Amino acid sequence: MKPTMEKPIFEKSRPGVVGMRVPAAGVPATDWAKDLPAGLLRQAAPALPELSEPDVIRHFTRLSKLNYSIDGGFYPLGSCTMKYNPKVHELIARLPGFANLHPYQPQSTVQGALQVIHDLEQALCKLTGLARFTLQPAAGAHGELVGCLIIKAYHASRNDAERQEMLVPDSAHGTNPATAAMAGFKVVTVPSNDRGQVDLAALKAAVGPRTAGIMLTNPNTLGLFEEEIRELAATVHQAGGLLYYDGANFNAIMGLVRPGDMGFDVMHMNLHKTMTTPHGGGGPGSGPVGVAPALVPFLPKPLVDRTEDGTYVLNGDRPQSIGRIKAYYGNFGMLVRALTYILTMGADGLRQASEDAVTNANYLRVKLMDVYRLPFDQVCMHEFVLSGDWQKKLGANTLAIAKRLIDYGYHPPTIYFPLIVSEALMIEPTETESRETLDAFITSMRAIAEEVIKDAAFVAAAPHDAPIGRVDEALAARKPNFRWQPAGGHAGEVSSTDATSRAPGC
Ligand SMILES: *Cc1c(COP(=O)(O)O)cnc(C)c1O
Q: Report how far residue 452's alpha carbon sits from residue 443's, in angstroms, rounded to the nearest whole number.
A: 14
Q: Report how far residue 416's alpha carbon sits from residue 385's, in angstroms, rounded to the nearest whole number.
A: 10
Convert the pLDDT of each residue in 440-455 to its tens digit: 999 999 999 999 999 9
> DSSP letter string over 314-380?
EE---TT-----SSTTS-HHHHHHHHHHHHHHHHHHHHHHHHHHHHHHHHHHHHHTTTSB-SS-S--
Do the Cβ atoms of 365 and 413 come closer than 8 Å? no
Q: Report how far residue 102's alpha carbon sits from residue 107's, in angstroms, rounded to the nearest whole number.
A: 11
- C-alpha 130 to ligand 1 mean position (Å): 20
Find the range with the poorest average confidence among 149-153, 425-429, 497-501.
497-501
Ordered domains of the chain (ranges, CATH):
87-344 (3.40.640.10)
Q: Report how far residue 286's alpha carbon sits from residue 271's, in angstroms, rounded to the nearest whole number.
A: 5
The finding on whether 175 has its CB within 6 A of some atom of ligand 1 is yes
Q: Which atom of ligand 1 is nearest to the CA of 279?
A: 7
Counting residues of the chain whose pLDDT is more than 90, the rounded percentage is 76
Q: Report how far residue 387's alpha carbon sits from residue 339's, in angstroms, rounded to the nearest whole number.
A: 37
Kindly tell me if the per-residue pLDDT of 500 is higher than 80: no
- C-alpha 177 to ligand 1 mean position (Å): 12
The finding on whether 219 has its CB within 6 A of some atom of ligand 1 is no
Mean pLDDT calculated for residue range 413-439:
96
**What confidence score (pLDDT) does residue 216 get?**
96
Region of residue 109 (phi > 0: left; psi between -120 and 50: alpha; otherwise: beta): alpha
Kindly tell me if the per-residue pLDDT of 48 is higher than 70: yes
The finding on whether 286 has its CB within 6 A of some atom of ligand 1 is no
As a whole number of Å, the CA-based R_g of the chain is 26
**What confidence score (pLDDT) does residue 486 get?**
62
Name the residue with higher pLDDT: 142 or 504: 142
**What confidence score (pLDDT) does residue 283 get?**
65
Closest C-alpha to ligand 1, atom 5: 140
Q: What average pLDDT is seen over the chain?
A: 91
Q: Give the global pTM.
A: 0.88
- C-alpha 174 to ligand 1 mean position (Å): 8
**What confidence score (pLDDT) does residue 423 get?**
98
- C-alpha 267 to ligand 1 mean position (Å): 12
The finding on whether 246 has its CB within 6 A of some atom of ligand 1 is yes
**What confidence score (pLDDT) does residue 267 get?**
98
Mean pLDDT calculated for residue range 30-50:
80
Closest C-alpha to ligand 1, atom 3: 140
Closest by CA position to 310, among listed 123, 111, 117: 111
**What confidence score (pLDDT) does residue 501 get?**
35
Closest C-alpha to ligand 1, atom 2: 248
Find the range with the poorest average confidence among 45-59, 239-253, 348-362.
45-59
Counting residues of the chain whose pLDDT is more than 70, the rounded percentage is 92
Closest by CA position to 133, among listed 15, 47, 252, 259: 259
**What confidence score (pLDDT) does residue 78 get?**
92
Convert the pLDDT of each residue in 369-425 to its tens digit: 999 999 999 999 999 999 999 999 999 999 999 999 999 999 999 999 999 999 999
Do the Cβ atoms of 323 and 331 come closer than 8 Å? no
CB neighbour class for 361 (10 Å; exposed up to 12, middle 13-18, buried from 19): buried
- Helix or strand or coil: residue 204? helix
